[in-house]
Structure 1
Amino acid sequence: METKPTEISSGKMFGGYNKRFRHFSPTLGCSMNFHIYFPRSPSPSHKFPVLYFLSGLTCTDENFIFKSGAQRAASAEGVALVAPDTSPRGLNVEGEADSWDLGAGAGFYLNATQEKWKNWRMYDYVVKELPKLLSDNFPHLETSKASIFGHSMGGHGALTIYLKNQDKYKSVSAFAPIANPINCPWGQKAFSNYLGDNKSDWEDYDATCLVTKFPNVSSTILIDQGEDDKFLPDQLLPHKFEQACKKPMFPYCYVSNLVMITFTIL
Structure 2
Amino acid sequence: MEEEMIKIKNLKKSYGNKRILNDISLNAGKGEVIAVLGKNGAGKTTLFKVLLGLAKKSEGEIAVLGQPDYTDSLRKEIGFCMSIPVFYEHLNAIENMSIECEYYKLDKSNICSVLRAVGLDPYNNEPVKKYSFGMRQRLQFAECCIKNPPIIIMDEPFNGLDPKGIVKLKNTIRNMANGEKTILISSHILSEIKQAATRIIVIAKGTIVLDRYVNELVEEHTKDFEAFLIKKMEGYDETQTYRFD
The TM-score normalised by the length of structure 1 is 0.27
The TM-score normalised by the length of structure 2 is 0.29
Tell me which protein shows more helix as a share of its residues: 2
